[in-house]
Amino acid sequence: MAVITRGFGGRRRDDTDLPPGQYRTDDFPVLSAGPTPRIGLDKWELAVVTETGERSTWSWAEFTALPADEPTVDIHCVTHWSKFGTRWRGVSVDTLLADVETAAEYVVAHSYGGYTTNIPLEDLLDGQAWVAYEFDGEPLVPVHGGPARLLIPHLYFWKSAKWLRALELRLDDEPGFWETAGYHNYGDPWREQRYRAD
C-alpha cells in the first residue's frame, strides 16, 4: 500500500546498522528547546537523589576524578539522523549509583535550564549509559550539552539529557519534557518509538 513518489531515487547506502526510518549523517546536528545554558564549572554540581530524598553530589573536580570510560557508540535522533562511531569520555551511571541504596525503577534526568526526561533505571545500568564530558577527545561544548550530558546510545537521543544536573530515582514513572509533549515514553529507535502512539 506504500505510496510511490514519482521521480524519487534516493541516495541509498547499505547501512544494516541503521534503525528503521533513520539516515546516516557525518554532521552533528543540534536540537534543543531553548537557549543553551552556560554553566560555570565552579558552580556545576551533579546530584543523584533517591526516592527517600538522599542526595549524593559531585563537584566538577570530584566528578572528573571518578573512573571514566571511553565508549564509541552509534547515536540516533528522533528527527531521523543517526551518527555512527561517536567517541565519548564519561562516567558510567553504574559508578555514580554504586553506593546508592534504592528500590527505584525509574529515573528522571534533570538539566540545567529545566529540561527533564524519564528513563527506566535498568536502561541506565550494566554499562549502557554514561554521564559524558568529552566528545571526540575534546571537552563537550555547550551546544552538545557541555559541561556534561547523559549518554544513552540505545534510546533516541532526546533521552540523553544535555546539561545534566541531577538523576532523580523514583518508584513511579514521571514523563519528562518531550514525553508530555507527545513523544514516546520509552523511545527505542529499533522499534521506531517516536511518538506516543507508536
Partner 1 sequence: MARAAVPGRLTWQAATVAATRAETATARTLVLDVDGWTGHVPGQHVDVRLTAPDGYTAYRSYSISSAPGPDWLEVTVQAVTDGEVSPYLVDVAEPGDQLEIRGPLGGWFVRRPADPRPALLIGGGSGVAPLMSMVRAAMNPTRLLYSTRSPSDALFTSDLATARAAGDGLVAVTHVYTRVAPPGWPAPPRRLDADALSRVAWPRDADAVAFVCGPTGFVETVADLLVDIGHDPANIRTERFGPTGG
Ligand X SMILES: Cc1cc2nc3c(=O)[nH]c(=O)nc-3n(C[C@H](O)[C@H](O)[C@H](O)COP(=O)(O)OP(=O)(O)OC[C@H]3O[C@@H](n4cnc5c(N)ncnc54)[C@H](O)[C@@H]3O)c2cc1C
Report which secondary-structure segment, H or E, holds 193: none
Residue 75 pairs in a beta bridge with 83
Binding site for ligand X (CB under 6 A): 25, 27, 79
Q: Does the protein bind partner 1 through residue 181 (CB under 8 A)?
A: yes
Site residue total, partner 1 (CB under 8 A): 42
- Rounded to an integer, what distance in angstroms lies between the CA atom of residue 86 and that of residue 75? 7
Question: Given candidates 18, 19, 36, 47, which one binds partner 1 under the rule CB under 8 A?
Answer: 36
68 vs 77 by CB, closer to ligand X? 77
Q: Does the protein bind partner 1 through residue 95 (CB under 8 A)?
A: no
30 vs 171 by CB, closer to ligand X? 30
Q: Does the protein bind partner 1 through residue 40 (CB under 8 A)?
A: no
Question: Given candidates 3, 16, 42, 67, which one binds partner 1 under the rule CB under 8 A?
Answer: 3
23 vs 190 by CB, closer to ligand X? 23
Chain CA centroid to CA 131, Å: 9
Grid cell locating 44: 556545576
Which residues have C-beta within 8 Å of that of residue 82, sequence separation ≥ 6?
Answer: 18, 19, 22, 23, 24, 25, 74, 75, 76, 189
Q: Does the protein bind partner 1 through residue 43 (CB under 8 A)?
A: no
Grid cell locating 131: 554521564
